C-alpha cells in the first residue's frame, strides 16, 4: 500500500513539474485523470445511494408487512374484486420508496455529470501570456461585448434548454414551477457577487455598483413572488397532485383520455429545466475570475442580457401556462408578476452596463484606441 501511495505521489509531482504550460501532454493527462476520478466518484456515490435506497425500501416493506397481511385477509373475507391487492401493499410501498430515492440519486448523478461536461474556458492573462507584450490583452483590440460574455451565454443556454422542452405531463410542469424560486435566487446571488466584488476590489464606478444591487434586489422580489406562486399552486391543485402521488386503486379509470400519464410520480420533485440551467450557471460562473477591467465590463454588460434571457424563459412558461396548462388563473397571474419583476431587474442591470460605458469612457477609449499605439499608451500603465 505504501509503495502504491509513493508511486501516485511521484506521478503527481512529475505532472506538476512538466505540465506548466496550458495544453501540454502532462497537463492533458492530469485533466484526464481528474475527469476519471470525478466519474468514478460520481458512480460510487450513486451506487452507495442506491444501496441505501434498497435498504430503506426493504425496511419499509417489512414495516408494512403486517398491515398488508391483515388487509389481504380482510379482502379475501369480504370477497373484494382485487383480493391480492392487500397482500401486495408492502411490495408497492417498497417500490415507491426505491423509485423515489433512485430517481433523485440518478438526477443528482446526471446533473453532476452535466456540470463537469460544461466548461467556461477563459483566457487568463497570467497564464496565456503573449511572448511579445507579456499580456494576452492586446490594447487597441480589446472590446466590450456583453452579448458574448460568459454570464450572458450561460443564461441564454439555460433559457434555450427550457424553450426546447415540451412537457406532456403536469408533473414536469410542476417541477418547473417548484424550481423557479431556487433558480432565480441562484442568478440573483451571481449579480450580487459581481456588485460586491466591484465595490470592494475593483476600480469601478459606484453608480454601476448601485444599479447592480438594484437588479439583485428586484430579482429577490421575483423569487419571493415565485415562492407565493408555488405555495398557491400546491394548495389549489392538491387534489390533482394527490391523484398521481397517491393514486387509488385503478386511479387511471378517472383519466379524461385513454392514455396513461407520461410523467413519473416523482417528476415534480426533480429539478426543472429553468432551475437546473440557473444553478449550473451560478456554479460555473464562480470559477471565472477575469483580471482586466475590459473583461469585467463585458460581464457587467452581460448581466442585463443574462437576466433578460431568464425573463424570456419565465415569460414562455407564463404563456404556456396561460394557453395550455390546466391550472388556476391565480397561478398564471403570479407567474406573470414574476416575469415583470425579472424584466425590471434586467432593465436595472442593462442600466449598469450603460453607466459603466459612461463613467469609464476615458479608460475604455485608452484600451480600444490607444494614443500613438499600445506601446506608447503603456507608458501610462499604473504600477501593480
Pairwise CA distance, residues 273 & 23, whole Å: 33
Residue 85 carries which DSSP code? T
Grid cell locating 32:
484526464
Calpha distance 332→376 (Å, rounded): 60
Q: Half-sphere exposure of 132 toward its Cβ, with a 13 Å CA cutoff?
A: 5
How far is the C-alpha of 177 from the C-alpha of 173, rounded, in Å?
A: 6
Report yes or no: 337 and 372 within 8 Å, Cβ to Cβ. no
What is the residue-level pLDDT of the chain in tens, covering all 384 positions?
455 455 555 555 554 454 444 444 444 445 567 667 778 888 888 888 888 888 988 898 888 888 888 878 887 788 777 767 777 888 888 888 888 888 888 877 776 666 655 444 433 333 433 333 333 444 433 578 888 899 999 999 999 989 998 888 898 999 999 999 999 999 999 999 999 999 999 999 999 999 999 999 999 999 999 999 999 999 999 999 888 888 888 888 888 888 777 666 667 778 889 999 999 989 888 888 888 899 899 999 999 999 999 999 999 999 999 999 999 999 999 999 999 999 999 999 999 999 999 999 999 988 888 898 888 888 998 888
Tell me the residue length of the chain: 384
Sequence-ordered list of residues with C-beta below 8 angstroms from that of 20, at least 6 positions apart, any chain: none
Residue 180 is inside which H or E element, if any? helix 170-201
Can you give the pLDDT at residue 185? 95
Cell digits for 175? 417541477
Query: Which residues does 65 contact at the CB level (< 8 Å), separation at least 6?
Result: 90
Distance CA 312, CA 310 (A): 5
Question: Is residue 95 exposed (0-12), middle (13-18) or buried (19+ Cβ within 10 Å)?
Answer: middle
CA distance 265 to 241: 9
With a CB cutoff of 8 Å and minimum separation 6, the contacts of 35 are: 116
Pick from 62, 63, 80, 58: which is nearest to 71 by CA?
80
Find out whether 281 and 193 touch, Cβ atoms under 8 Å: no
- Distance from C-alpha of 184 to C-alpha of 226, rounded to nearest angstrom: 9
Kind plus residue range of the DSSP H or E element containing 99 = helix 89-117
Rounded-to-integer distance, Cα 341 and Cα 215, Å:
10
First-last CA distance in the chain: 48
CB distance 299 to 197 below 8 Å? no
Alpha carbon 3 to chain centroid distance? 42
Buried b or exposed e, range 228-265, using 16+ CB within 10 angstroms: ebbebbeeebeeebebbeeeeeeeeeeeeeeeebebbb
Q: CA–CA separation, 296 vs 290, rounded Å?
A: 6
Question: Which residue is associated with the grid cell 398564471?
Answer: 332
pLDDT for 265: 65
Domain boundaries, the chain: 30-117, 144-250+264-371
pLDDT of residue 188: 95
C-alpha cell at 233: 399552486
Distance of alpha carbon 106 from alpha carbon 222, whole angstroms: 30
Q: Which long-range contacts (CB under 8 A, 24 or more apart) does 196-202 make?
A: 198/296, 198/300, 202/293, 202/296
Please identify which residue in the block is written with the cell numbers 401486495: 88
Q: Residue 156: its pLDDT value, please?
A: 92
- pLDDT score recorded for residue 139: 40
Q: What is the pTM of this model?
A: 0.64
Task: Kindly give, in sequence order, each residue whose CB lies less than 8 Å from that of residue 319, ignoring residues fewer than 6 positions away.
Answer: none
How far is 268 from 241, CA to CA, in rounded Å? Answer: 9
Rg from Cα positions in the chain: 27
Amino acid at each position: 500500500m505504501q509503495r502504491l501511495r509513493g508511486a501516485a505521489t511521484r506521478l503527481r509531482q512529475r505532472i506538476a513539474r512538466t505540465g506548466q504550460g496550458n495544453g501540454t501532454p502532462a497537463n492533458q493527462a492530469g485533466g484526464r485523470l481528474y475527469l476519471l476520478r470525478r466519474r468514478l466518484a460520481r458512480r460510487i456515490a450513486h451506487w452507495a445511494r442506491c444501496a441505501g435506497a434498497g435498504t430503506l425500501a426493504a425496511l419499509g416493506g417489512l414495516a408494512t408487512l403486517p398491515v398488508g397481511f391483515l388487509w389481504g385477509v380482510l379482502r379475501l373475507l369480504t370477497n373484494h374484486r382485487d383480493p391480492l391487492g392487500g397482500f401486495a401493499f408492502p411490495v408497492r410501498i417498497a417500490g415507491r420508496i426505491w423509485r423515489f430515492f433512485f430517481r433523485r440519486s440518478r438526477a443528482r448523478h446526471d446533473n453532476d455529470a452535466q456540470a463537469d461536461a460544461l466548461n467556461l474556458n477563459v483566457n487568463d492573462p497570467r497564464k496565456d501570456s503573449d511572448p511579445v507584450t507579456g499580456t494576452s490583452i492586446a490594447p487597441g483590440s480589446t472590446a466590450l461585448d456583453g452579448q458574448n460574455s460568459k454570464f450572458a451565454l450561460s443564461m441564454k443556454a439555460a433559457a434555450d434548454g427550457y424553450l426546447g422542452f415540451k412537457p406532456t405531463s403536469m408533473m414536469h410542469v410542476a417541477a418547473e414551477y417548484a424550481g423557479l424560486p431556487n433558480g432565480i435566487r441562484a442568478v440573483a446571488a451571481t449579480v450580487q457577487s459581481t456588485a460586491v466584488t466591484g465595490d470592494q476590489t475593483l476600480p469601478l464606478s459606484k453608480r454601476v455598483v448601485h444599479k447592480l444591487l438594484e437588479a439583485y434586489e428586484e430579482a429577490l422580489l421575483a423569487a419571493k413572488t415565485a415562492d407565493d406562486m408555488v405555495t398557491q399552486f400546491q394548495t389549489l391543485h392538491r387534489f390533482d397532485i394527490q391523484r398521481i402521488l397517491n393514486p387509488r386503486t385503478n386511479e387511471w379509470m378517472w383519466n379524461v383520455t385513454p392514455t396513461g400519464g407520461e410523467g413519473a410520480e416523482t417528476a415534480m420533485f426533480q429539478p426543472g429545466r429553468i432551475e437546473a440551467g440557473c444553478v449550473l450557471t451560478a456554479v460555473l460562473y464562480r470559477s471565472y475570475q477575469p483580471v482586466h477591467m475590459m473583461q469585467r465590463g463585458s460581464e457587467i454588460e452581460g448581466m442585463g442580457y443574462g437576466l433578460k434571457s431568464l425573463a424570456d424563459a419565465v415569460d414562455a412558461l407564463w404563456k404556456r401556462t396561460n394557453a395550455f396548462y390546466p391550472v388556476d388563473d391565480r397561478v398564471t397571474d403570479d407567474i406573470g408578476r414574476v416575469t415583470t419583476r425579472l424584466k425590471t431587474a434586467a432593465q436595472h442591470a442593462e442600466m449598469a452596463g450603460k453607466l459603466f460605458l459612461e463613467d469609464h469612457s476615458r479608460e475604455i477609449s485608452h484600451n480600444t484606441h490607444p494614443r500613438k499605439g499600445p506601446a506608447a499608451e503603456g507608458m501610462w500603465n499604473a504600477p501593480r
